[in-house]
A and B are shown apart, each in its own frame.
Chain A
Amino acid sequence: MRGISKALKIKLEVLLGNDAKLSDGAFERELYSMDIGVIPFSRLLFKTLPDLIIRPKNIEALKKIIKVADEEQIALFPRGLGSSGLGGVIPTVGGIVLDFSSLNEIDELDRENRMITVQAGARWSDIEKFLRTEELAMRAYPSSFFSTVGGWIATGGYGIGSFKFGHLQSQIEAIEVLFPSGEVKSIKQDDEAFSRFFGTEGQFGIILTATLRLRTKPIKSMPHLIYFECVEAVVTFIKDMINAGIEPYHIKYVDSAYLEKTNKLLEEKLFRERDAIVVTFEDAAEDQKFLSFAAKQGIHADEYLARYLWHERLFSMKRKGHGSTPLACEIILPLENFAPYLNRISQMAARFKVRLNVESHIIGKDDALVLVHYDSDVRELRTYLAHLTLIPLLTRLGTTFRGTPYGLGIWNAPFIHDKFDRQMLRCYKAYKHEVDPHNILNPGKFFAARTKWANIPGMLLNPAVFRLITRMVPVFSPIIAQPILKEKSTKDETALEKTVYSCVKCGNCAANCPAYLVTQDELLNPKNKLYLAKKLLEEEEIAKIDAEKVFLCLHCGMCRDVCQNDLDLLTAWSELEKRLEDRFGKPEKAIRNFVSAMEESEDYWRFIYAQKV
């Protein structure tokens, strides 16, 4: 794989003209070298800094880029919201990051057949906003509501509504894929190749558009919250319900730790702190059936508590915040192994002296998508690293219960054999070779992680080696986990510090930031401003030119409306600006130009007024 020469950059610039936005600022490149995971050593293992970031504005531009990349053998890393933590969007060998945020158009709404065609960069939230007045709704959507369509196709496919509507694959009518050869193919659901593009993290081609099947907008959601004595009872209840032929829209499990934190967050003991499920119906008849079925079983909480949790479905990281770094493991498990697995991991966690939170979406009659997470703090590096080792252990344990990891990316690449059987893997590898002979699409991960240093560190990520390691670690875990997370005093933390270290980088803010929308400048993305703040706090070097971008903010506070962690962002911005002003001064002229550019933008006003129906 080659790096990008200056000449090539100029060539691309000329070639793309106004059809794409190119950037290669040092800070911007740094921003694109990460996802939501915090892996301190990733930079040592891979060339995570891209050489260039391209934000194509149309599909023609994308075609031109892929052609050049294929010719010049330059790696391409497509990127949506970057809301996964497995490294699926992180460059491994420099190259080009393809930012899809400008390819977010809604191409066509077919009201009659209830289908919508959107570009891959469209966010699920955009689609919902668009459909609001059409009496139509999406079938299922990811819990990362502000992520892109392309992103979910490439990574997961299970989310809210998966119980009723199954995997994303079954609600997509067709996709359009761009191959390294420059060929664009429309692939329908009944095509043999169709399924290959789901969960394969952009290995085979770049998804351009997707045609989604919709449903009539439900009149309302009817969530119910039921408490149980133990996990086993939960599973029995769900099984019985399924057997009784009741079809909810969605079922979500939460454990007692989750509800405990919720109570803490609300500063009131509203929820019982035990295992519980939220069963949600969007069909009145089914709801009635359920009510008579469930009358005898479990303990039913007040409706408003059910509603509260139902709305929290998109904020799974909310209660991890405030000065800590979340760590998580996602795994798909057969329902019958759900309880045993949960029991085993809590034992294991005890050895690491961490408190696990478990949430799970039931994604069909037989399976559950389990999300295990726990808090750590990256500022306590040794402990953090110890905590980090727990993740593969949790995943490994899951595989022994016939589970499969939800995604692979870089860090789960060692589990590829657990995700695909031998024959399928062979088939995929052959297909990869066929469509991407130069391996320019998202290389160095998924099939196998390839690190720097002649891949010697990468040996550790070899499935066989890795398996061995994961067997060893539990033995030493008590030793590793010795430097237990100290209760760090957060009293004298400023609002900015608190915010910076509580941000989970979900990127929801970007979807709701008018300044980012109008300027399309990645440095104005609130999430990235917090990253700059982090560097400031950690006394790393900051360029004046980057610092000045921070001031291009109307302080509208809309970022906060969608912040998973409900962080006090406005105070943080003020503090950040104050600190930067002390150091670099205030860019008065840039601010003035920014304000008038905002007011002159039609997109801006459309956005401002779309906030309310």
Chain B
Amino acid sequence: MRRSTQFLEREGHTISNPVIKFAPSNFPKDICEVEVIRDVTKCISCGMCAAVCPFGVHERKTGYNRVSKPLSYLCIGDACKDQPFYCVDHCPKKALSVGQNQNYISIGDSRWTRDLILGTWKQAEKGLPLHGLKYEIGNSGGGFDRLFFKFPKEGRTEAIENDAINTELELNKREGRKISIRVPFYGGGMSFGSVSLKVMLARAKAARAWGTFTCTGEGGYPEALKPYDDNMITQVATGLFGVSEESLQRVRIVEFKYAQGAKPGLGGHLLGDKVTAEVARMREAVAGSSLFSPFPFHSVYSVEDHKKHVDWIKEINPDALVSVKVSTPSDVDMVAVGIYYAGAHIIHLDGSYGGTGAAPDIAKKNIAMPIEYAIPMVHEFLKEEGIRDKITVIASGGIRTAYDAAKAIALGADGIVIGTADLVALGCVRCGCCESNRGCPRGIATTDPELSEIITVEWGAQRIINLYAAWRSTLIDILKQLGMQSITELVGRHDCLINADYIKGKETG
């Protein structure tokens, strides 16, 4: 019963993909790129626009004096210009125009541009992949944003059915139980307290639907997640919040967190306001007092100490895979080798530009190196040591899109971990207020009872399921274009990438 999905997969049965359902924004209004502007001094409310628009942007409501204000978020924008139903052309009084939405301009930052945020929302809404450079890269001017795929002109495997392209990833390359996930990514650790239980449940539900994992973070293992044990990773971090033998035995993967990319060298932060009674109970702490996880593991001062840690887990849960999450110091390659020799199955590299519930800005910006450098460093070093095929390398920290994921894999990772993108799917705008007052104004990174009402588990799960579906489609498309049939073929294929900084002379652009 417990391992049923696992069994089916091993027997060669395919499980059908999760159902994609339309899951629009949970707020009454959506933010969009375009703004449909009606000049009310010219408009006579004849309703021609309402009669021609097939998307419901314009409405001429029965019994009302005037045409309703255009619902810009339903407008398809520029794509409409050449259509026979373009309202601007049909307006007899020339009262309509389509411009750029002001709200759209103010959203986003250089890492997560407005298009990446809105693009993730769209994918979470419809489950369909998006095309176009603006949905592929951000505007940070470095790292993934300067990397592009070099698709061969010949060799597209157009003939291959999408279903025949394998996106599965085997997480255990050592002896022992095999655990494969259907998509080469899983959800990163987010503790109860940093996010609401509903968000945890939504992520867990989505993980189960896609046959992958999500992680509890270090805030304990709420009982409500019990049905998802098979798809949960539980975290042992320096605070040891909520860690018990029982919780370690429930799961198939245990993750050691040495550091977190966004605040390497610092422990977890959960500021007092977010330590509600419920959270405090789960963490065996006092409500209302800030919780700072200590740093580091004071029991670990050497690789040998680390091995003791891993052995301890293996003793408690012999079947479990052990993942070790580390940040990216300059000697990350050495760390990786040490982790392998200590007996871990997965090394999880968390780069410095990853998300966090709360971290000092100085840490997020300045400490440790971006994941783009750490991946090839570790990949190459493990290869030199002859152990690359004995350990799974998972990367995270600043992976925003399926393109970033594919690039990370091409740089040398086996798979990736999703954090912020999950939350953006749930409506995060990255305002960065996760830590303040009652927490997230959008009901995600909060345990405030009223605010967490904004999200429902069903809706949230569907949004993440949709996002994963879109990501998977994108990955399949990339593989097809590269003439590959499996995601594992892409690992470490530097040659598939070009770096815009390395293009000389006129080739640029």
Contact = CB atoms under 8 A, between A and B. Distances in A.
Do A and B touch, yes or no (CB under 8 Å, in the complex)? yes
B457 to A, nearest CB: 23
A311 B47 contact: yes
Given A561-B64, A561-B66, A562-B65, A311 B59 contact: no
Interface string B29-52: 000000000000000111110010
A305 B66 CA distance: 15
A610 to B, nearest CB: 11
B63 A560 contact: no
Interface in A276-334: 302-305, 307-308, 310-311, 314-315
Interface in A538-591: 560-563, 566
B45 A563 contact: no
B62 A314 contact: yes
A560 B59 CA distance: 17
Given A302-B92, A612-B68, A314 B48 contact: no
A561 to B, nearest CB: 5
Contacts of B51: 220-221, 307
B63 A125 contact: yes
Given A302-B92, A612-B71, A613-B56, A560 B48 contact: no
Interface string B142-175: 0000000000000000000000000000000000
Contacts of A128: 62-63
B505 interface: no
B250 interface: no
Q: For A303, A308, A311, A613, which residue has the most chain B Cβ atoms within 10 angstroms?
A: A311
B63 A303 contact: no
Nearest to A141: B62
Contacts of A308: 44-47
Contacts of A145: 62-63
A146 interface: yes
B28 interface: yes
A302 B51 CA distance: 14
A145 B62 CA distance: 8
A128 B60 CA distance: 13
B6 to A, nearest CB: 43
A92 interface: no
A315 B62 CA distance: 11
A128 B62 CA distance: 9
B46 A562 contact: no
B45 A560 contact: no
B46 A146 contact: no
Chain B interface size, as a band, is 10 to 19
B146 to A, nearest CB: 43
Contacts of B65: 315, 560-563, 566
A159 to B, nearest CB: 12
A101 interface: no
A193 interface: no
Contact of A146 (B44, B63, B69): B63
A320 B464 CA distance: 57
B71 to A, nearest CB: 7
Q: For B45, B47, B62, B92, which residue has the most chain A Cβ atoms within 10 angstroms?
A: B62
Contacts of A304: 46, 48, 92
Interface string A220-241: 1100000000000000000000
Contacts of B63: 125, 128, 145-146, 314, 508, 562
A146 B69 CA distance: 21
Interface residues of A, number: 27
A240 to B, nearest CB: 27
A562 B65 CA distance: 5
A563 B46 CA distance: 17
A307 B62 contact: no
Contacts of A609: 28
A416 B163 CA distance: 78
Nearest to B66: A561
A218 to B, nearest CB: 12
Interface string A596-613: 000000000000010011
A303 B47 CA distance: 10
Interface in B409-444: none
A128 B63 CA distance: 10
A609 B62 CA distance: 17
Contacts of A566: 65
Q: For A304, A314, A560, which residue has the most chain B Cβ atoms within 10 angstroms?
A: A304
A173 B71 CA distance: 37
A604 to B, nearest CB: 15
A320 B45 CA distance: 19
A168 B66 CA distance: 28
A566 B71 CA distance: 23
A560 B40 CA distance: 15
Contacts of A7: none
Nearest to B45: A311
A434 B48 CA distance: 54
Contacts of A266: 44
A594 B64 CA distance: 27
A562 B28 CA distance: 23
Contacts of A613: 56, 59, 71
A508 B28 CA distance: 26
Interface in A377-408: none
B46 A311 contact: yes
A310 B63 CA distance: 11
A307 B56 contact: no
Contact of B64 (A270, A303, A310, A562): A562
Contacts of B69: 612
A297 to B, nearest CB: 24
Nearest to A305: B46
Contact of A311 (B28, B56, B60, B71): B60
Contacts of A563: 65
A311 B48 CA distance: 11
A609 B27 CA distance: 11
Contacts of A307: 46-48, 51, 60
Contacts of A310: 47
B48 A303 contact: yes
A563 B66 CA distance: 10
A131 B69 CA distance: 21
A444 B59 CA distance: 45
A266 B95 CA distance: 15
Contacts of B64: 561-562
A464 to B, nearest CB: 42
A221 B28 CA distance: 28
Given A128-B63, A145-B62, A311-B47, 20 more contacts: A146-B63, A220-B51, A221-B51, A266-B44, A270-B44, A302-B92, A303-B48, A304-B46, A304-B48, A304-B92, A308-B46, A311-B45, A311-B60, A314-B63, A562-B63, A563-B65, A609-B28, A612-B68, A612-B69, A612-B71
* 5 shortest interchain CB distances as A-B pairs: A308-B46, A145-B63, A304-B46, A304-B92, A304-B48
7 contacts: A128-B63, A145-B63, A304-B48, A307-B60, A310-B47, A311-B47, A613-B56
